[in-house]
Amino acid sequence: MQTPDTADFKQLTLPQWLERIEACHPAEIELGLDRLQQVANRLELKLDSAFKVVAGGTNGKGSTLAMLDAVLLASGKTTGRFSSPHFLHYNERVLLNGEPAEDDAFCRAFVAIEQARGDIPLTYFEYGTLAALLILSAASVDVMLLEVGLGGRLDAVNIVDADLALVSTVALDHTDWLGPDRESIGFEKAGIYRAGKPALCGDPEPPQSLLAHAEQLGAQLYARGQAFDFEAHSESWHWRGQGTAGPVSLAGLPNPGLPLANAAMVMQALQLMPWQVSEQAIRAGLESVQLTGRMQCCQWQNLDLLLDVAHNPEAAEYLSSQLADSASPVHLVLGMLHDKDIGSVIEALSDVVDHWYPVSLDVPRGTSVQELTDQVLQAGVSASQVHSGDSVAQVLQQLASDEVEGQVVVAGSFFTVADALACITEG
């Protein structure tokens, strides 16, 4: 792509900007905040008027912020949410009061960033983080909900000082970047905590490194199983936790259709905000929340679909637990990236899946259908249960044509779910 002169920046469309920023930095990931902080300082971001929530963790960041967003909107607050990656449209990464930001807002933000950065290189995610902060600042929202991209301590989102930070879970993922065990990963994720500010942890067994870092910082730690917890019942759930004035509990809460462990952390976060959120708003938010690609049920042609990213062992185990009581056959369309723990994901799902449909993902890190098929067979799955396909779309079309009975699950990666959503959208 040709590099435009500064005068031409304002003429670029959002797709052109995305092509440009993707080509600007040779590395997809480059952890560290020095370069980004320099550009942020030049942009003079105005973040102080909003209450800022930063969410990290191996799994559950997105669902936690989605529930928090829904409750806050039901309470009458204005919100801005930044998350990644997107499924079909880049605009999904920034939501203003639940709606994707407009193309023009991103383009204006990218122009400002390009003019401010000078010769400082930025990665694709760093451009996107700064653009999100500019858009949220301009919208003057009451609450900013910011999702960490990778890790925490050195992630681009961590240039923001959180008023409340939460870590959902700590499990093995991105070990090449974050370290080989839960202790090293826990330290990285605890890097979003701030001195004197609420620091939540939803992991039932938090690494000692996370606890130690929170104590060293002087953060106000609220850990699941100590400060707050929950009990699941057949059609509702109960929560107990800590408010500013002492213990708090709520019974008979509606099931949000997302992990209750994350909902419990949302409940604790609500108690620590500088305003009171009514029980009515809490119930309304939990009943209305929706999150693309996380336990998302939909119908397409004659298929009963369940879309869930489930790209690491912990997430796969949760998906498995939700499918365990299925009385009908489970058909799994599985596509994964080669740098994920494919064997452990397959193992976590092996007891609940009746038919496997490995597919290739047409992305640089995608695992080929042959390699994925081999790993499924190596896990002990009978060859009669494995039906390899060229792509998600091809398999879904075939399953619809065959009028298969049961639940069709699409999982293994954001890219796998995105391919299914594209197929559904196209009809």
Residue 2, pLDDT score: 40
pLDDT tens for residues 43-54? 989 899 999 999
Report the range of poorest mean pLDDT among 354-358, 363-367, 376-380, 385-389: 363-367
Is residue 94 classed as helix, strand or coil in its secondary structure?
Answer: strand
Local confidence band at 25 (pLDDT 50, 70, 90 cut-offs):
low
pLDDT above 90: residue 184: no
> 37: which 2 tokens?
């902080």
Residue 197, pLDDT score: 97
Is residue 127 classed as helix, strand or coil in its secondary structure?
Answer: helix
Residue 427, pLDDT score: 63
Give DSSP secondary structure letters for 333-393.
Answer: EE--BTTS-HHHHHHHHTTT-SEEEE----STTBPPHHHHHHHHHHTT--GGGB---S-HH
What is the residue type of 240? R
Is residue 16 classed as helix, strand or coil in its secondary structure?
Answer: helix
Kindly report the pTM of this predicted structure: 0.90
- The answer to whether 73 and 97 have CB atoms below 8 angstroms apart is yes
Residue 31, pLDDT score: 66
pLDDT above 60: residue 6: no
The stretches of 88-234 forming alpha helices (DSSP H) are 103-117, 124-139, 175-178, 182-189, 208-217
pLDDT above 90: residue 182: no
- CB burial of 351-374 (b: ≥16 within 10 Å; e: otherwise) equals ebbebbbbbbbeeeebbebeebbe
pLDDT tens for residues 283-309? 999 999 989 999 999 999 999 999 999
CA distance 133 to 370: 42
DSSP label at residue 185: H
Share of the chain above pLDDT 90, in %: 80
Block residue for tokens 């009809």: 427
pLDDT tens for residues 105-117? 999 999 999 999 9
pLDDT tens for residues 190-199? 999 999 999 9
219 or 152, greater pLDDT: 219
Q: How far is CA 126 from CA 60, 281, 403, in A?
A: 22, 34, 45
Mean pLDDT, the chain, integer: 92
The stretches of 51-123 forming alpha helices (DSSP H) are 61-74, 103-117
pLDDT above 90: residue 5: no
